[in-house]
Structure 1
Amino acid sequence: MSKRAVLEVIALGVEDAVAAQAGGADRLELVTDMAADGLSPSAETFARIRAAVDISLRVMLRLADGFAAGDADHVARLVETAGRMRAAGAEEFVLGFLDTGGAVDLAAVERLVGELDGCPWTFHRAIDRAADRDALRKQLDGLPGLDAYLTAGSAAGVDDGLPVLLAEAARRGEPGYEPQIMVGGGLRLEHVPRLKAAGVEAFHIGGAARPGGWEAPVSQEAVREWRQVLDAR
């Protein structure tokens, strides 16, 4: 029997979280401020969502728009945010930082991962802006807890990135390619059959779960439609 595909939905608050779980989401990515592409929520928001649903929650560790970790003070604030989330009960995270040349900011990532102490985490769409995706994967290979890459294959979205996603899916299991590929960023239902056929097992939606736009809450019906498509043979 084939394994059920993972459906991760962006949640900004309790209403989103409850609707996403009811629609069949397996996991939530918790963020705030989608105008900045998703920043860390408050520990209080995390606690309210944790009390409302019983599916996995991945908490964003990102304090400013863009993909730079910032200076030493900013990195220290990120580490402090991670510690606060851990103290509130968070056990899964999302992060990813690049330097000015488009390489992974390994020093910042390693500091944060040290604070996470083995918790599972996703390296997010910073990979889609990396100068060399393969080099980034090799540099992160073996870091404790890294179990997924959230990627559209391209900074422009899945339409442009599909060839890259299919090529990387074919390399699953090679050094740097063990973590799960979770596809998100301009993902549409019509992309799913081809990605599933290539072995992709995880899908991430934000706007697609909100037919009314980002000002509207997650739609249980929209999430259910995705669940049905992902579960179709």
Structure 2
Amino acid sequence: MLLEIAVTSPSGVAIAANEGADRVELTTALELGGLTPSQGLMEAGMEAAGGSVEVHPLIRCRPGDFLYSADELSLMEREIRALLGQGASGVVVGALTTDGEVDREALLRLSTAAREVRDDAELTLHRAIDQVQDAERALDTVIDLGFTRVLSSGQHATVAAGLQQLGKMRRHGQDRIQIMAGGGLSLEDIPAVRAAGLDAVHLSAKKVISTAQGDSVSLGAADGADPTAYLVTDAAVVRAARQAIDS
């Protein structure tokens, strides 16, 4: 079973590589569910990876739902071409229709853009699959489009709650597509995920850094959150995840 870590910085890439991750999902704004990394971040991330860990950028042009306009899809096609051109092993994408299905036409556009840059680009469907009406039908669609894997919490808030559904998805997909467990995943869940025969686990392994001293002036956060706080990759969590997979 492989280990993927969601990271938001070159140092996060380096930590994941040094602590035994097989792959990183490179993103920004984890607090918003993740957004497309910049070309500068991609360049620095590839340098930090040093060829020892695969880099797969998330392609998501805005927060919110997965119902995309033609202009948004065009933007994400550009992002795919740019980031794959910088050396990414694959991309992480997702799009839905208003009736709760994966958007086949949108995913065809995005997958075509990827394969135009490199025909061996790996394609991951992100947790948009957790919002579809029929996960097995969604799997059939993305298998037909040539996707490599799906990231899912089994259509529940956490992997632990969705483990039975993840097992059903694994059996339905058989050897046609990889199933990667992620979303509310704890280290304690990893043995059960491995026992279920899933292909990989995905976690952000994040910790919060704050430099607040006394009362800090708000810089626009409507919820009164700490304006100095940000997320970094926790080496200890990555190391523990690797150990849990290997034990």
TM-score, normalised to structure 1's length?
Answer: 0.89
* 2:42 is the alignment partner of 1:27: no
* 2:219 is the alignment partner of 1:204: no
Residue 82 of structure 1: SS of its match in structure 2? helix
**Which amino acid is the alignment partner of residue 171 of structure 2?**
A
| Aligned residues of 2:68 and 2:95 also touching (Cα < 8 A) | no
CA drift of 1:65 comes to 1.4
Larger Rg: 2
CA drift of 1:17 comes to 1.0
Cα distance per residue 1:61-96 (max 9 Å; x no partner): 110113424211111111111111122222311001
| Aligned residues of 1:158 and 1:187 also touching (Cα < 8 A) | yes
2:43 pairs with one of 32, 40, 47? 47
**Which amino acid is the alignment partner of residue 35 of structure 2?**
L
Equivalents in 2 of 1:138, 1:123: separation in Å? 12
Q: Residues 203 and 229 from structure 1, CA distance in 2 versus in 1: closer, same or farther, beyond 3 angstroms? A: same
Residue 33 (structure 2) aligns with:
37
Equivalents in 1 of 2:19, 2:185: separation in Å? 18
Residue 148 (structure 2) aligns with:
147
CA drift of 1:212 comes to 3.5
CA drift of 1:211 comes to 3.8
Equivalents in 2 of 1:110, 1:91: separation in Å? 18
Residue 170 of structure 1: SS of its match in structure 2? helix
Q: What is the number of residues matched between the two proteins?
A: 222
TM-score, normalised to structure 2's length?
Answer: 0.85
Equivalents in 1 of 2:157, 2:230: separation in Å? 23
CA drift of 1:168 comes to 2.2
Residue 125 (structure 2) aligns with:
123
* 2:61 is the alignment partner of 1:59: no
> 1:146-165 to 2 correspondence within 5 Å?
146-165=147-166
CA drift of 1:43 comes to 1.1
2:138 pairs with one of 122, 136, 139? 136
| Aligned residues of 2:77 and 2:110 also touching (Cα < 8 A) | yes
Cα distance per residue 1:26-61 (max 9 Å; x no partner): 110001112320010011101101011121001111
Residue 212 (structure 2) aligns with:
none
Equivalents in 1 of 2:65, 2:138: separation in Å? 14
* 2:150 is the alignment partner of 1:170: no
Query: Which ranges of 4 or more aligned residues in structure 1 deviate by more than 4 Å?
Result: none
Residue 171 of structure 1: SS of its match in structure 2? helix
| Aligned residues of 1:68 and 1:100 also touching (Cα < 8 A) | no
1:215 pairs with one of 222, 226, 230? 230
Residue 73 (structure 1) aligns with:
71
Structure 2: gaps (5+ residues)? 210-228
Residue 61 of structure 1: SS of its match in structure 2? coil
Structure 1: gaps (5+ residues)? none
Percent identical among aligned pairs is 30
CA drift of 1:169 comes to 2.5
Equivalents in 2 of 1:185, 1:50: separation in Å? 25
